[in-house]
Chain A
């Protein structure tokens, strides 16, 4: 079975520029997560989708971050404008369950963003 696909793998941008990340979850997985992982820390949830609806986006900086899940499948995460503190790895994960933690999450390799 194919895993969670993310692109690009690496991205370097200047502050105040915009950037977009793409995620293709495992086929049939209803739950999709976007996490931000700063070096040396655990993943921090940005947004959780259940099919194409948002379950939790309480920690998403909505003045600069946006995310959507197209037709309940692929998802994009956008940052506009980027700040230096946005430098991190952005991880996408999917899960076959209903997002209540009773099933494992499958992670992609992540996109490493560097803002200079």
Chain B
């Protein structure tokens, strides 16, 4: 069955640095990968979607890559700020929408 993994449970970085989060998938290759942000006590909020034929997608300080050879997506936040502290979830964009466990990012001032 399809499986999606976020290897790091938690990541701490200094303000201003680039945060890089990893999402790996096994078995079936997804046509789409989605990234979400979740704050404590709230539902996930959509950030970016990348298709399998796209190598990279950007939105403001966010960048997502999709490497079908490595079966991996990387999510980057440049010039990170304490307000970026949250849990980031990747989701396998097929039917159904399957989520990884998430990576809790803490940006330290």
Binding site for B on A (CB under 8 A): 4, 33, 35, 40-45, 48, 55-56, 91, 93, 95, 99-110
Contact = CB atoms under 8 A, between A and B. Distances in A.
Given A41-B101, A42-B100, A100-B94, A105 B30 contact: no
12 contacts: A42-B100, A43-B44, A43-B99, A48-B96, A91-B44, A93-B44, A100-B93, A101-B95, A104-B34, A107-B44, A107-B45, A109-B42
Nearest to A106: B46
Contacts of B95: 48, 55-56, 99-101
Contact count band on B = 20 to 34
Interface string B1-35: 00000100000000000000000000000111010
A59 to B, nearest CB: 9
A12 to B, nearest CB: 16
Given A41-B101, A102-B31, A93 B43 contact: yes
A18 B100 CA distance: 29
A48 B31 CA distance: 18
A101 B92 contact: yes
A44 to B, nearest CB: 8
Contacts of A95: 97
A42 B101 contact: yes
